[in-house]
Amino acid sequence: MSKARARDLGLDFPGEPGPHNAITDVPGVLVGYTTLIEGDGPLVVGQGPVRTGVTAILPRGHDTTPRPVWAGQFSLNGNGEMTGTHWIHDAGYFVGPVCITNTHAVGMVHHAATRWMLGHYAESFNARHLWAMPVVAETYDGTLNDINGQHVREEHALAAIRHAAAGFPAEGNVGGGTGMVCYEFKGGTGSASRRVALGGESYSVGALVQANHGTRDWLTILGAPVGRELREDLIAERECGSIIVVLGTDAPLAPLSLRHLAKRAAIGIGRHGTPGGNNSGDIFLAFSVANPMDLPQLSAAKLAFEHLNGEVLDPLYLAAVEAVEEAVVNALVAAEDMPTLRPAGKVCRAIDHDRLVAVMRRYNRCR
């Protein structure tokens, strides 16, 4: 609650954030977590230790009527998983929660998210032929978690969805972000948002990231070569992580524009130095809560749609880049030390706030 965030440290991020500086600034968007931290000692596959979890984003809150959100998806580097994207590409919408977990829990979380949809939307699903195709994404936490033990169970995912709430979402070692490593610092979940004025109205764009990517030498923050300056506690010979970015907005965007928005996440993460490594699943989703509608199956033959002209979208693209950029640093700043399992016996350290600020000052990038 009182944890410092990147902006609190004085880092000179551009743009105007929303009240929570988080994806939950987008009206109706809720975030919930199940965090699993159990056991210590050395890795015994199947027995732990467990440091993983599930993150759930509900674009339409707990509404029991299934209502799509418009969406677009882009993969900078597809070495990972995000389900539900074939239809997002072709139809530009999805229904239900977005869940993020570890790589080997994708199936169980997909099963649970489907179950939740079948129950929560039972009135619709039992009345006609409808199919649930939830969005489930992942990053790999095998450095810090017994990932091959598949410790995430159905109830864990259901709890993350059911407890999703408004307000500032926790950051760092929470939910699917529990066991993340980012630029060889402790990574995790981070969020940020921006307010944007377009065509006389004001909109929010928010990002939530599960940040598990990067090697130390790549790391720059606001242009400062942080990874060159902070060389202690390196833990990886090479990158073996990924980053999932979820962007939400209340700006009325056409599906093609939402795909553009998702693409801009590549620039947002690129600002910290990653070139999009081969082992990294850099997979991005963008959705808009505007233009609410019933399921297409229940809707009229002709649909009215209002969307922002591409000509005015540059500030929104920039806001998305900035929100993603800040969300990654928020994940780093909120994270806490965690011992490693593979390689055993090290500690994955959170970035030291004071030392970070000292570097940033050296490059005049701290207020």
Task: Please list every residue from 160 through 219 that binds a copy of itself, using CB under 8 A.
Answer: 198-200, 218
Is 242 a catalytic site residue? Answer: yes
> Looking at 242, 250, 257, 288, which residue is catalytic?
242
Q: What would the two tokens of residue 116 be?
A: 């939740």
User: Nearest approach, Cβ of 20 to a copy of itself (angstroms)?
Assistant: 23
Q: What are phi and psi of 336, to 5 degrees?
A: -130, 150
> Is 232 a residue that touches a copy of itself (CB under 8 A)?
no
Judge whether 280 counts as a catalytic residue: yes
- Cis amide leading into 255 (omega within 30): no
Residue 75 annotated among the catalytic residues of the structure? no
Decide: is 75 part of the binding site for a copy of itself (CB under 8 A): yes
Distances (CA, A) of 46 to 68, 90, 296, 301: 38, 39, 43, 52
Residue 6 token pair: 């990147």
CA 340 from chain centre, in angstroms, equals: 23
What single letter denotes the amino acid at residue 105? A
With 0-12 CB in 10 A as exposed, 13-18 as middle and 19+ as buried, what is 186? Answer: buried
152 Ramachandran zone, left/alpha/beta (phi>0; psi -120 to 50): beta
- Considering only 86, 163, 355, 367, the residue that binds a copy of itself (CB under 8 A) is 86
Q: Residue 200 Cβ, how far from a copy of itself at the closest point, in Å?
A: 7
User: Binder to a copy of itself among 53, 59, 84, 179 (CB under 8 A)?
Assistant: 84
| Residues 11 and 226: beta-carbon distance below 8 Å | no
CA atoms within 13 A on the CB side of 173: 18
Q: Are 212 and 145 in contact (CB under 8 A)?
A: no
Q: Given candidates 158, 182, 196, 224, which one binds a copy of itself under the rule CB under 8 A? A: 224
**Applying CB under 8 A, which of residues 51, 156, 213, 307 lies at the interface with a copy of itself?**
307
The reply on whether position 358 binds a copy of itself by CB under 8 A is no
Minimum CB distance to a copy of itself, residue 99 (Å):
10
- Under the binding rule (CB under 8 A), the answer on residue 97 touching a copy of itself is no
Q: Is residue 17 involved in binding a copy of itself (CB under 8 A)?
A: no
Selecting among 141, 146, 250, 282, the annotated active-site residue is: 282
Among 252, 285, 288, 338, binds a copy of itself (CB under 8 A): 252
CB atoms within 10 A of CB 361: 13
Structure tokens that stand for 155 in this block: 């109830």
Task: Determine, following the binding rule CB under 8 A, whether residue 77 of this chain makes contact with a copy of itself.
Answer: yes
Min CB(199)–a copy of itself separation in Å: 2
Binding of a copy of itself by 140 (CB under 8 A): yes
Pick the piece of the chain touching a copy of itself (CB under 8 A) from 60-68, 160-168, 293-301, 329-337: 293-301
Q: How far apart are CA 268 and CA 213, in angstroms?
A: 13
Q: Which residues are catalytic?
A: 242, 280, 282
